[in-house]
Amino acid sequence: MAQGSIQGSLKERGVRLTRQRQILLDLIDKSGSHLDAERLFQLAQEQDPKINRVTVYRTLKMLKTGGLVDELDLMHHEGDQHYYETRLKQEHAHVICLRCGKVEEFFGEPLSRLRKQVETHLGYQVLIARTEIGGYCAHCQTLRAREFDELRGRPPEPPKTSEETERKPRAAAPKPRARRA
């Protein structure tokens, strides 16, 4: 949602956009990451040391109640932590790595189709759609595979250097023999 739209929505509700509220909105909208209330407070204080936690929490509640900000739990990766983002014109899914906590946003036609299917098949008038997908990013998949190998008793393969990837692949390590009782 554009800043002008948020400002207009606040004005329609008779809510003044104070300097402190503007700082908080700008941080939520332009930070490039999903911020929790505490991190938002810390960043806001860097811009205006007079901002206090009460202002942050009251502003978040007002923006959330007004439908201007979404509160997300992001698969509860960090426990009961909640994160905030301004409503965007285009809906998107949050894809969260359940190991490292990396959050990526997915935009695309499949989300629009899902919304239409829900409206058509279930007869809903969908006003908002939030989608969270949990899994493992490519990096964490590699780390998990190594951990599984170690649990199975296989030595982990050392990371390959660029020289090794150009050479012939090494022979597989011999399998450990089963012990006889």
Kind and range of the H or E element at 96? strand 93-97
102 lies in a domain?
yes
Nearby residues of 34 by Cβ (< 8 Å), 6 or more positions away: 72, 74, 83, 84, 85, 94, 103
33 lies in a domain?
yes
For residues 156 and 146, the answer to whether their CB atoms sit within 8 Å is yes
What pLDDT, on a 0 to 100 scale, did the predictor assign at position 176? Answer: 46
What pLDDT, on a 0 to 100 scale, did the predictor assign at position 140? Answer: 93
Please tell me the number of Cα atoms within 13 Å of 15 on its side-chain side. 19
50 lies in a domain?
yes
Question: Do 80 and 104 have their domain in common?
Answer: no
CATH of the domain at 45: 1.10.10.10
Domain that holds residue 128: 90-157
Maximum pairwise Cα distance, the chain: 81
Phi, psi of 56 (to 5 degrees): -60, -50
Per-residue pLDDT tens listing for the chain (181 residues): 445 566 667 677 767 778 888 888 888 877 767 788 888 999 999 999 999 999 999 988 888 877 777 777 766 666 667 777 776 556 778 888 988 888 888 888 888 888 899 999 999 998 877 788 899 999 999 999 888 888 887 665 666 665 554 544 444 444 444 444 4
pTM over 0.85: no
